[in-house]
Structure 1
Amino acid sequence: MMETGFDVVLALMLLGVGGWSIIARNMMTAVIIFIAYGLLLSLAWVRLHAVDVSLTEAAIGSGATGLLMVIAAHKVAGDSQRVVRLSRGFHVLAAVFATLVAIGIASLAFVLPGAPVSLAAPVLERLPESGLGNPVAGVLFVYRSFDTLLEKVVLLLALIGVWALARDQDWGGVPGLRLFQHPHSVLMLLARTLPPIGFVFAIYMTWAGADVPGGAFQGGTVLAAMWILVMVAGVRRVPRVSSPLLRLAIVAGPLVFLAIGFLGFVAPGVFLAYPDGLAKPLIVVMEVALTLSIAVILGLLIAGPPRAKDSA
C-alpha cells in the first residue's frame, strides 16, 4: 500500500512538473524545472526496476543535458536584442497540434497486442555464454553492438558540430568555458575534495557494469562532471582543442571498439563477434576505452567551441 501511494504521488508530480515546465514563461525557470523533471523521471525508472535507464536519465537526460540547456538559455538571454511576441492564433495552433499529438500517442495504448513479443527469455538464456551478469550490458555489447558503436560515433559527430561553430581565427584554441575562480569559495573546496571520490565511483561503475547496473556511459558521465568541476573552478586549465592527447582520448573509445569489431573477422568470422571465452574481457576493454572518450567528449560539449588561441 505504501509503495502504491508513492507511485501515485510520483506520477502526479511528473505530470505537474512536466506541465509547469511547459507553461513557465521564463526560459531559465523552464530549464531548471526540466532538470527537476529528469530527476523525478529517474526515480520512475527505478520503480520500474530499470536501474541502468535510471542512471542514464539522471546523468545524461537531467545532468548533462540540463547543464547544456542552462548554458544555451544564458547565451540566448545575453544575445537577444528584442523580445519576439507571438500572436494568440499561433499559441492556439501550437496547443491544438500538441493536443492532437498527445491523443495520437495515447491512443496507441489501445491498439497494442495483448501479448507483446519479448526476447527477454532467450537473451537471459544465452547471456552466460558471454560471461556477463548484467543483461543490459549483454544486449548493448553482444546483441546490438553495432548500434552501440554508432551511438558513440554520434557523440563524436556532435562534438565536431560544436567545434564547427568556432571562428576561423579561434580554431585550435581554448574552449570558451566560463570560469568562477575564487580561492575561498565553496566551489573551490568541492573542486579539490570531490574529484577523488567521483573518480573512484566512476571506475567502480565502469568495472562493475558488466555484472551489475552501470557501465561506460554512467562512469564517463561522472568523470565528465568531475572534470568540468575542476575546470570551472580553475584548479585545472581548459585544454586546447588542438592537443594531440585530447584528440586521442576523444577517438580512443570508437577506435578500440572498431579494432575489436574487426578482430571478429579473424576468429568467429563475423564483424563485432567475440572469440570463444574472450567476450567479457574484450567488452571490459571496450568499456574502459569508451568511458575515457565519453568523459572527454561530454566535458568538451559543455565547454563549448574554442573562443581564443591564448594559452589556458
Structure 2
Amino acid sequence: MSLALDLALCALITGVALATVAGGGIFRAIIFFITYGLFVAIGWARLGAFDVALAEAAIGAGLTGVLLLAAHGRLRRMRTKAVAGNTGLNLPAALAGAAVAGALGWAWFALPAPSVPDLSQAMTDSGVGNPVTAVLLNFRAWDTLLESIVLLAALLGVWMLARDEDWNTPLGPRYHALSGGVLVSFGRLLPPVGLVFGAYLVWAGAESIGGAFQGGTVLAAVGLVALMANVLPAPQISQSGLRVALVLGPGVFLGAGLVAAALGGEFLSIAPDVAKAVIVTIEIALSMSIAVTLALLVIGPPVDAEGRP
C-alpha cells in the first residue's frame, strides 16, 4: 500500500510538472505550479522532512502563488502580448527541466551515500531537540545570520525600483483591488487561526517540527490574505513599527553574537546552559522579521495612484 501511494505521488508530481512547463497559457501554468508545490510538500513529508515540507507548502504553493497570480492580473490589465498570446508548448523549458531531472537522477544512483556523523553529544550541547534548529541557530549560525541580512537587502533592492515621489504612498493598493465577498469572509476567519498556528510553529521549532522560517512564512501569508480582503490597511514604508520589525531579527541575532563575544567566548558561540533560551529568543525575533519581509517582497515597491511602480 505504501509503495502504491509513493508511485502514485511520483506520477502526480511528474505529470503536474510537465503540465506546468509544457502546457499553454500563463494562468494555467500558475495554477499547475501551485498544485506542484503542494504535491512536492507531500513528497517531502513522505520522506520525513517535515520542516522542508512546511516551507515548500508555504513558499511554493503559498507566497509564490500569490505573487504569480498578482503578476498575471497586472499583465492582463496592461494587455501585454505575453498574456494575449503564448498558448503553445514551451518546449525549451520542458527540455531544460527534463535535463535537470535526469542529472539529479543520475547523481542519486551514481554518487556514494553520504556518511552521517554522530551528533548526539553536539545535540546535547546545542540546547534544542530539533536538529534543523540546532544546525541553523547553533552549528551554522553565521550562515543563518547572513541569510537574514540578505533577505532584508533583497527587500531594499525591490524598494529601490520605486520613484522618489512614491515613497510616501501606501504599499500594495493593487492587492486591495482583488477583494471580493468570499475573500473578505476568508480574510476575517483566517488571521486568528494563522496567528496561532504561526506562533506554534515558532515555539515548537526548538524541540520538534517548525521554526522561525516556517512560522514567519505562515504569518506573512496570513497578512497578505488580510490585506487582499481589506481587513488590514495598506502599509507604508515610513511606519516606524514596520521598520523595527524588519531589523528586529537580524538585530537580536547580531546582539546575541556580540554579547557572547563580550563574555569571553567566540562570536555567536552560545553556552549550553543558556542555549535554548537564547535560540528561542532569536527565533521569535527572526519570525517577525521574516514575516514582514516576505509579505513586503510579495507586495512589491511603492506605486503611484495609478498603480505604476
Same fold (TM over 0.5): yes
Alignment of 1:283-298 (within 5 A): 283-298=279-294
1:18, distance to aligned residue in structure 2 (A): 0.6
Residue of structure 2 aligned with 1:266, choices 262, 266, 271: 262
Query: Runs of 5+ in structure 2 lacking a partner?
Result: none
Instruction: Answer yes or no: is 1:69 the counterpart of 2:68.
Output: yes
The answer as to whether partners of 1:230 and 1:236 remain within 8 angstroms in 2 is yes
Alignment counterpart, residue 206 of structure 1, candidates 198, 202, 205: 202
Aligned-pair distance for 1:61?
A: 2.1
Partner Cα separation in structure 2 for residue 243 and residue 65 of structure 1: 25
Judged with a 3 Å threshold, the aligned counterparts in structure 2 of structure 1 residues 9 and 126 are, in CA distance, closer, same or farther, namely same
TM-score, with structure 1 as normaliser: 0.88
Aligned match of 1:179: 176
| Count of residues paired in the alignment | 303
8 Å Cα contact 2:127/2:272 also seen in 1: no
CA drift of 1:236 comes to 2.0
Equivalent in the alignment of 2:26: 27
Q: How many angstroms apart in 2 are the aligned matches of 1:256 and 1:203?
A: 18
- One-letter identity of the residue aligned with 1:54: A
CA contact (8 A) 1:175 1:308 kept: no
- TM-superposed CA distance for 1:55, in Å, is 0.5
**Alignment partner of 1:219 out of 215, 218, 236:** 215
> SS of the counterpart of 1:307?
coil
1:17 CA displacement: 0.6
Work out whether 1:250 is the aligned partner of 2:251. Answer: no
Question: Among 222, 225, 232, which residue is 1:229 paired with?
Answer: 225
Instruction: State whether structure 2 residue 278 is matched by structure 1 residue 307.
Output: no
Q: Which residue of 2 aligns with 1:37?
A: 36
Structure 1 residues 136 and 300, CA gap change in structure 2 (3 angstroms)? same
Give the superposed CA RMSD: 2.6
The answer for the alignment partner of 2:130 in structure 1 is: 134
Which residue does the alignment assign to 1:166? Answer: 162
Equivalent residue letter for 1:204: Y
What SS does structure 1 have at the residue aligned with 2:116? coil
In the alignment, the residues of structure 2 paired with residue 20 and residue 97 of structure 1 have an alpha-carbon distance, to the nearest angstrom, of 14
CA distance 1:130–1:106, shift in 2 (3 Å)? closer
Unaligned runs of 5+ in 1: none
Q: How far is 1:64 from its partner?
A: 0.9
Letter aligned with residue 4 of structure 2 = G
Provide the residue aligned with 1:118 in structure 2: 116
Work out whether residues 132 and 280 of structure 1, in 8 Å CA contact, stay in contact via their aligned partners in 2. Answer: yes
Is 1:130–1:277's contact at 8 Å kept on the other side of the alignment?
A: no
Cα distance in 1 for residues equivalent to 2:24 and 2:233: 37
Higher deviation after alignment, 284-293 or 229-238: 229-238
For 2:192 and 2:96, locate their aligned partners in 1 and report how far apart those are by CA, in whole Å. Answer: 49
Give the 3 Å change call, closer, same or farther, for CA 192–107 of structure 1 in structure 2.
Answer: closer
| Residue 47 of structure 1 pairs with residue 51 of structure 2 | no
Describe the SS at the equivalent of 1:173: coil
The answer to whether the Cα contact below 8 Å between 2:22 and 2:91 also exists between their aligned partners in 1 is no
Deviation at 1:268, TM superposition (A): 5.0
Displacement of 1:301:
1.6
Q: Which amino acid aligns with 2:21?
A: I
Counterparts of 1:141 and 1:295, CA distance in 2: 18
Matched letter for residue 179 of structure 1: H
- Taking the aligned partners of 1:141 and 1:192, their CA distance within structure 2 comes to 34
Cα distance change of structure 1 residues 192 and 97 upon mapping to structure 2, 3 Å threshold: closer
Task: Output the TM-score relative to the length of structure 2.
Answer: 0.89
Paired residue type of 2:115: V
